[in-house]
Structure 1
Amino acid sequence: MLDTIQAINKTAAFNRWAGFEVTSAANGEAELRMNWREEDMGQYAGFLHAGMIGAMLDTVSGYAAATVAGRVLASHFSVNCVSPAIGRAFVARGRVVKAGCKQVFAAAELYAQGEGADSLKLVATGNAILVPVEDPASAPPKKAQPAA
């Protein structure tokens, strides 16, 4: 499963730009890592921008859901910033809370990593509702609509 999620991650231009690295993915759980770049990831006070925080939490929630439900899209997403996001790298962990046929509920946390690999500080949490979607390649062709 890890290889599949890593391959999916490589197809997303934003994820490549941000430097998201999928470090684990299996059984309703996923983890991402991203190194801090001061020149283009910060907000006015020098912390990780909330948009980047949201992107990591959204992505890791989707990858966790994908391990149990295949291709998914977020239908709802929320973020709680609990501490200034300051670190040399950031680690996002997502997990499936409940997977149904039509919805997958996921929760995620984002940690700032300091100088030591074990120095993780919680900076944000998130929740997502994701919906399974068909792979466009396997969807039946749409019927042509008559001109009005």
Structure 2
Amino acid sequence: MNKHQVLEQVTTLWNTHIAFNQLLGFTITRMDPQESEIRFAWKDELMGNPVQEILHGGVIASVLDMVGGVVAAANIIENLPQLDESIIHEKLSRMSTIDLRTDFLRPGRGNEFIATARIIRKGSKVAVARMELHNEKGTHIAFGTGTYIVG
């Protein structure tokens, strides 16, 4: 199995077995060490302000954290010397968020939302990602910085 196949398997696993992501409607559409992406559609259950009909801030922070974790996980897989299933499982099971900062730029309006993440810095123990959330029109809604344990 090559790294691309491992990334596809992890994407499928996380899309089908993380109940929280399914509840919110998050779908990982790209898991890559350079950039990862999650998409989700508007639904009323995600509303944080019924007067303005905008996304709840917790949904925004959650998707930014998730997409940052996805790109961090892709980097873990990319840097493994061998693709042994037990090593992959061990490394990914120890990964977690250390710190998350979210900056809300505009109200979360739209029909579809796209969260992207890139690694800013990766060391042997910690990775830092920069995440952004846009709607289907390209309106920049929020950005964040996430720090993740990766080693």
**Could you say which TM-score interval applies, normalised by the shorter chain?**
0.7 to 0.9
Contact 2:33 2:72 in 1 (8 A): no
The answer as to 2:114 corresponding to 1:127 is no
| Runs of 4+ residues deviating >3 angstroms | none
The answer as to 2:49 corresponding to 1:26 is no
The answer as to 2:96 corresponding to 1:78 is no
TM-score normalised according to structure 2 size: 0.79
Contact 2:40 2:114 in 1 (8 A): yes
Letter in 1 for 2:28: V
Letter in 1 for 2:21: N
Picking from 23, 48, 65, the partner of 1:58 is 65
Partner of 2:112: 89
**What are structure 1's unaligned runs of at least 5 residues?**
114-118, 134-148
Partner of 2:74: 67
Contact 1:27 1:67 in 2 (8 A): yes
Letter in 2 for 1:51: G
TM-score normalised according to structure 1 size: 0.81
Displacement of 1:12 in angstroms is 1.1
Partner of 1:104: 127
**Larger helix share, 1 or 2:** 2
**What are structure 2's unaligned runs of at least 5 residues?**
1-6, 78-91
Aligned residues: 127
Instruction: Please report the RMSD computed on the Cα atoms of aligned residues, expressed in angstroms.
Output: 1.3
SS of the aligned residue for 1:26 comes to coil
Percent identical pairs in the alignment equals 26
Looking at CA atoms only, which structure, 1 or 2, has the larger radius of gyration?
1
SS of the aligned residue for 1:97 comes to strand
Partner of 2:13: 7
SS of the aligned residue for 2:20 comes to helix
After superposition, the C-alpha distances for 1:96-147 in whole angstroms (9 at most, x for unaligned) are 111111100101000012xxxxx211100000000026xxxxxxxxxxxxxx
Displacement of 1:10 in angstroms is 2.0
Contact 1:69 1:99 in 2 (8 A): no
Letter in 2 for 1:94: A
Partner of 2:46: 41
